[in-house]
Structure 1
Amino acid sequence: MRMTRHRRRAAAAAVLTLALAWSSAQATAAPPEPEAASATAIVTYEVAGVATAAERTALARTGTAIDEVRDGSVLISADAAHAARLTGLGWELTPLTAPRERGAPRAAAPADYRTHAEVLAAVAQAERQYPDLVAAEVIGRSHQGRDIVAVKVSANAAADEDEPEVLLTHNQHAREHLTVEMALYTLEELTSGYGTDPEITSLLNEREVWIVPSVNPDGKVYDQESGTFRMWRKNRQPNAGSSAIGTDLNRNWDYRWGCCGGSSGSPGSDTYRGPSPESGTETGVVADFVRGRVVGGEQQITAHIDFHTYGELVLWPYGYTYADTAAGLTRDDADAFEALGTALADTNGYRPQQSSDLYITDGSVNDWMWADQGIFSFTFEMYPRSSSGGGFYPPGNVIDRETSRNRAAVLTLLDYADCPYRITGNEAEYC
């Protein structure tokens, strides 16, 4: 059984031929970055006495981005000024490594991951190689003018058919390069598997898949393409009245934005939510794309994964409240999220949980996708489980293993996209 739909449209007019537009020169064209001030020493700290969601939320409310949750503690990355402020507030910080200059090589080299230009070239190649399966379009541009691309994969990609749609987004946070590799793995797996793999063939005959390889291309380029990693998280949009750069795109979505202490109002914070919802250029681009998939008053996207690193987690709404149910999220909804999230985690060995079990976040993509658009939305925190595996920069030799690890999870979500409530036996009521 599938969700009721009332439309059948002709070929989408917005599909673009990108082979020329996506040359390396175009892909990297942007205003030059301002000259950096003196390098800022970034240290990884363990913060003791942080064992509960409430304690983690209290730490996050200082504007601190939590990198890793441990039993009784968390890991953060901070410069000396932020570390001193936390110490002054009473937090117990222990450095785990010697100070590392912002931009110092870590567990991987930038060359281990494909550049933004190489990503766009891979998409263009897939479109040329599989013209019936792949149709890519520029859905908007970043603050610095780089293309943000959505890649459609379906058995008849040129037509907007009456089929459930699944959206896969990647790289909201600049330093999470493994997620971009995840996007390209999925693109390759779906295209090469069509006609040879019975499961993929059946799913693409009945589903439309949208892949956005990089939501934050400016941040990706800045973090990777100087030749050394910079530990950059946000986008590269200036903030009026401040020398601090960037908005945390995953605190900038227009649902419960800034409501609950789950983001920062300080432009210098890694979790800065921006001056208003969707003020981040890239947030607005993707939100507009999603709203544009409403046809005849019905949202065509039924399911979504936003890929992040790290922690090996499957997360679902809500993030803004500890409650299992809240406005717009009924017990049947919550049960379906938990059952489907657990089924996804069973395929990849990640830990399934409601987002706020970690700590409160507000203005997040999952909460917006569900509450505003009715889309079953999950976050995958990919490899590694802990900093010992490389943290945000795992070595290149794990990329193939850790992207393929999510193959079954993606296919499972595609399977349930016709009616996610099917997993709890409630399809007759909701689909």
Structure 2
Amino acid sequence: MRALRRRTAAALSVTACLLAFPAPQSAAEQRQTTSEGPERASSGTVYRVTDTDGSTRTEIQRTGALVLSVSGDTAFVQANGSQAERLRSAGLALERASATTGRSSRGPAAPGDFPAEDSDYHTYSEMLTELDEAASQHPDIVDRTSAGRSAEGREIPAVKISDNAGSDEAEPEVLFTCNQHAREHLTAEMCLHVLKRYTDNYGSDQAISDMVDGREIWVIPMVNPDGVVHDISGSDYLGWRRNRESNPVDLNRNWGHKWGCCGGSSGDPNSSTYRGPEAFSAPETASVRDFVDSRVVDGTQQITAHIDFHTFSELVLWPYGYTTEDNAPGMTREEYRRFADLGEAMAATNGYTPMQSSDLYVTDGSVNDWMWAEHDILSFTFEMYPDSGGIDGFYPPDEVIQRETSRNDEAVSILLDESGR
């Protein structure tokens, strides 16, 4: 894994050049309204950038450009004119890619819904129906509850799957969260797949039954329901990432551990990685934080393992994101090795690439860092299908849902097994 972090001479030179430039913002960019900001799929050009490493990609992010996906040393980057100029001045070769192909521009047939050809994706209301039906069909093993409310007042639903779902038993608990970033709709399908797999197969599949009997499995399918609803509210997909506060927040930069510490987020409300005015300022992150805190029983955190699903790039990531050090404060070398071994084992089952989060690029205020630092939870991010691409990578056709969610079945089983160790 250390080889992933070695910089080439070219990457070192690019990083030095990027650090030498300030991060200017044009008057036109400053006038952008924060409610829409730079997030529409049409608001920037997507470029293919080769010969990048974690350090280069971190500095790309710090210009205000957004790394959309990474495959090997090739990154797809969305940048406006001034950001692209900075990147070129630093010596990066930018090859223009398609920012809006048929996948992102062929929007919903009606506002608030997915297009007919992608109707297998679940809207917010359809997701709620799925949870209610699971609770109705499997009342003994499903407890339907809530993690809190969003900025616009929507419920952030949660379900527990266990053999005595209505009781709080002394069993290891595992949490799956999805859709922190609004446009990553495949992730909600992943959480719903986990729900259906561990309910519909209970009693007929021995391995599934054993896990449900011996664990308490929590699923939060849409951490960011307002953003999800907004992303499909127009005639086209909006390419929306953040929540829907007046100054929208990137939820995965709003968590409390090392919030805003290390250049891995933005303090600019117009940035796609805006971290908010303070840690847990967003109702959504505060709600999930309170839910996780509530699982401390008699001084012991019951949740022992967690996956936060994202798209895309086909990666398995583990803490820390705020630093490139393996065993930074709060993580011993042995604990890091456990993360790496488990991450590599899960990646071996789904074909994803395993790495420490900061090998992708530095992030601060992320859910994985907080889960581990605050509660010693084995917390991973899975970046799902596809493995690379531009804006349209956030909108794969619904024909891939079953294949790409079931692709993670064995990895989920590995984590559930590990949660009891």
Using structure 2 for the length normalisation, give the TM-score.
Answer: 0.85
What is the DSSP-based 3-state SS (H/G/I as helix, E as strand, rest coil) of the residue aligned with 2:228? helix
Q: Shift of residue 61 of structure 1? A: 1.3
1:326 aligns with 2:328: yes
What is the DSSP-based 3-state SS (H/G/I as helix, E as strand, rest coil) of the residue aligned with 1:168? strand
- Alignment identity in percent? 51
Q: Shift of residue 42 of structure 1? A: 3.4
1:293 aligns with 2:295: yes
Could you say if the C-alpha distance between residues 124 and 328 of structure 1 is closer, same or farther in structure 2, counting changes exceeding 3 Å? same
1:204 aligns with 2:206: no
What is the DSSP-based 3-state SS (H/G/I as helix, E as strand, rest coil) of the residue aligned with 1:345? helix
Residue number among 191, 204, 211 corresponding to 1:183 in the alignment: 191
Asked if 2 retains the 8 angstrom alpha-carbon contact of 1:112 and 1:395, the reply is: no
1:115 aligns with 2:123: yes
**Which ranges of structure 2 fall in alignment gaps of 5 or more residues?**
1-33, 109-113
Could you say if the C-alpha distance between residues 183 and 95 of structure 1 is closer, same or farther in structure 2, counting changes exceeding 3 Å? same
Q: Which residue identity lines up with residue 143 of structure 1 in the other structure?
A: A
Could you say if the C-alpha distance between residues 94 and 70 of structure 1 is closer, same or farther in structure 2, counting changes exceeding 3 Å? same
1:142 aligns with 2:143: no
| Corresponding position of 1:95 | 96
| Corresponding position of 1:192 | 200
| Corresponding position of 1:357 | 359
Q: Shift of residue 112 of structure 1? A: 4.5
Q: Which residue identity lines up with residue 63 of structure 1 in the other structure?
A: G
1:174 aligns with 2:175: no
Q: Which residue identity lines up with residue 200 of structure 1 in the other structure?
A: I
Residue number among 333, 336, 339 corresponding to 1:337 in the alignment: 339
Q: Shift of residue 193 of structure 1? A: 1.1
| Corresponding position of 2:374 | 372
Which piece of structure 1 moves more, 408-417 or 95-104? Answer: 95-104
Q: Shift of residue 281 of structure 1? A: 1.2
For residues 88 and 102 of structure 1, what CA distance do their matches in structure 2 show?
32
For residues 196 and 310 of structure 2, what CA distance do their matches in structure 1 show?
20
Asked if 2 retains the 8 angstrom alpha-carbon contact of 1:102 and 1:230, the reply is: no
What is the DSSP-based 3-state SS (H/G/I as helix, E as strand, rest coil) of the residue aligned with 2:394? coil
Q: Shift of residue 45 of structure 1? A: 2.2
Residue number among 254, 257, 260 corresponding to 1:255 in the alignment: 257
Q: Shift of residue 395 of structure 1? A: 0.8
Could you say if the C-alpha distance between residues 56 and 113 of structure 1 is closer, same or farther in structure 2, counting changes exceeding 3 Å? same
| Corresponding position of 2:314 | 312
| Corresponding position of 2:401 | 399
Q: Shift of residue 84 of structure 1? A: 5.3
| Corresponding position of 1:9 | none
1:417 aligns with 2:419: yes
Q: Shift of residue 407 of structure 1? A: 1.0
Q: Which residue identity lines up with residue 322 of structure 2 in the other structure?
A: Y
Could you say if the C-alpha distance between residues 317 and 37 of structure 1 is closer, same or farther in structure 2, counting changes exceeding 3 Å? closer
1:42 aligns with 2:43: yes
What is the DSSP-based 3-state SS (H/G/I as helix, E as strand, rest coil) of the residue aligned with 2:361? coil
For residues 43 and 214 of structure 1, what CA distance do their matches in structure 2 show?
26
Which piece of structure 1 moves more, 65-74 or 121-130? Answer: 65-74
Asked if 2 retains the 8 angstrom alpha-carbon contact of 1:47 and 1:91, the reply is: no
| Corresponding position of 1:59 | 60
Count of equivalent residues: 381
Q: Which residue identity lines up with residue 139 of structure 1 in the other structure?
A: A
Q: Shift of residue 60 of structure 1? A: 1.1
Asked if 2 retains the 8 angstrom alpha-carbon contact of 1:253 and 1:365, the reply is: yes
Residue number among 204, 225, 235 corresponding to 1:217 in the alignment: 225
Q: CA RMSD in A?
A: 2.6
